[in-house]
Amino acid sequence: MNTNTEAHALTVGGQSIPLDPPRPPKKPNMLLWIDTETTGISRTNAKLLEIGMIVTSMDGSTEGDRFVCPVRPDKLSLYDLDPYVLCMHLDNGLLDTIMEAEPKEIGYANVARNLSEFLNDQAAQYELHPAGTNVDYDIDLLTNQLAGYIHPDYLRELTNHRKLDLSTFRLADTALDVNPYKGHAGTHRVTDCITRDRNDYATYLDILLEHERNKQ
């Protein structure tokens, strides 16, 4: 076993000179809010209909860049959609948006390229922590559905393994007999869902801050 504390040293003229290589500056921590709209709830077989990602400060208050895009699967049939999902996305206009768009522009291949560019750019600037509701579901779905067009581990390689999942807070509320889903009815579009999550997160942070103040 090598116990030499000067293992990383340069010998010049018989003298050992410790090396202290410059380290890259530490990237600021940011949240990467993620939401997807899909044809169903299976994380392996459901198809993507819309992707939303918004970068914010760690408290969720300051917004940076965003990636929001409807998606047209390579093969899509109305039979692929759960009946509830079909009605929901007819009502909110998402299916109309998908059908009216140029297929190649919002197809899997082009969306995967654009998403890769966005994530690589953001990861070069920030330490990205995935955030959202059931965020592992969205990561798995994005990984499975775009695997043929983008490196399968792209999301996990470009983001931190520590995640912020609002489901944790909501399950804690449920344990306290508080309904965390009151007032959650929305359009079921990605920006709407991410806004809801950021607002809930701000509320939970206020509660934690108040608790800390009371302790003092």
Q: What is the mean pLDDT of residues 113-124?
A: 97
Give 68's contacts (C-beta < 8 A, 6+ positions apart).
Answer: 50, 51, 52, 53, 54, 190, 191
Q: Whole-prediction pTM value?
A: 0.86
Counting Cα atoms < 13 Å in the Cβ hemisphere of 19 gives 9
Structure tokens at 211: 């608790």
Distance, in Å, from the CA atom of 137 to the CA atom of 144, rounded to the nearest integer, reads: 10
pLDDT over 60 (residue 7):
no
* Domains along the sequence of the chain with CATH: 29-215 (3.30.420.10)
Q: What is the dihedral of CA 198, 204, 205, 206, to 10 degrees?
A: 110
Taking only the tens place, the pLDDT of each residue in 138-174 is 999 999 999 999 987 899 999 999 999 999 999 999 9
